[in-house]
A = this chain, B = another copy of it.
Amino acid sequence: MSIRTTDTKEEILRIGKQFIQYYGYNAFSYADIARELKIKNAAVHYHFRGKEDLLMALIENYIQNYQLLAQQLEGSKLKAAGKINKFIERYTGLCDSDSICIIGSIASDYNTLPESVKARISELIEMVLGMVEQTLAEGKKKGELHFEESPRTRALLIMTNLAAGVQLARISGKADYEAIRKALIKQLK
């Protein structure tokens, strides 16, 4: 068993994710990925038959990643506000690297995607919204969080604030994102 210092397939995923978050899905090519990793065009095609396959793989990664977060939160002693903050932190991280979340990025290009990908994105969004919704519902039940709307609506409000917040931040600056972030936390108290 040898130790592999670099795994090309994972590197492609890493760069692909970076490009989607930084430039947008329809603004980069396999050639760009190849150039970045100093491999050939065809090598990218070897690992991912086409761009859609790469995107699909990234979506699967994203889903797994959130499922992992769900498990961690379930087994944690964090209060509801702390759990919500874990979601918020992900967006704050994006903001720092002038990137937007994959969902927000893909949302702009949504009508250019094949049905198979659209369907999976839909599931991903349902999952994330469901997680936030459940966390909010529990927090409210325990008296840790306070809000007027239904948990679903509150989840929608929070996630749209965050998704568009990072989009806005790279145009008008991080101060606006920070204002949003602080307001979100305060609103739940």
Contacts and interface: CB of A to CB of B under 8 A. Distances in A.
28 contacts: A23-B111, A23-B112, A24-B24, A24-B108, A24-B111, A27-B109, A27-B112, A98-B111, A100-B107, A104-B167, A108-B167, A110-B167, A122-B171, A148-B186, A148-B187, A149-B183, A149-B186, A153-B180, A156-B176, A156-B179, A157-B180, A159-B168, A160-B161, A160-B164, A160-B168, A161-B164, A163-B168, A164-B167
A126 interface: yes
Contacts of A108: 24, 100, 104-105, 107-109, 167
Interface string A160-184: 1101110110111000100110010
* Of listed A100, A104, A164, A176, residue having the most chain B CB within 10 A: A164
A121 interface: yes
Given A164-B161, A167-B108, A179-B152, A24 B26 contact: yes
Contacts of A164: 104, 107, 159-161, 163-164, 167
Nearest to A124: B171
Copies in the complex: 2
Given A104-B164, A164-B164, A183-B149, A110 B170 contact: yes
Interface residues of A, number: 45
A125 interface: yes
Contacts of A160: 160-161, 163-165, 168, 180
Which A-B residue pairs are the 5 nearest by beta carbons? A160-B164, A107-B167, A164-B164, A108-B108, A26-B26
Contacts of A159: 164, 168
Contacts of A148: 186-187
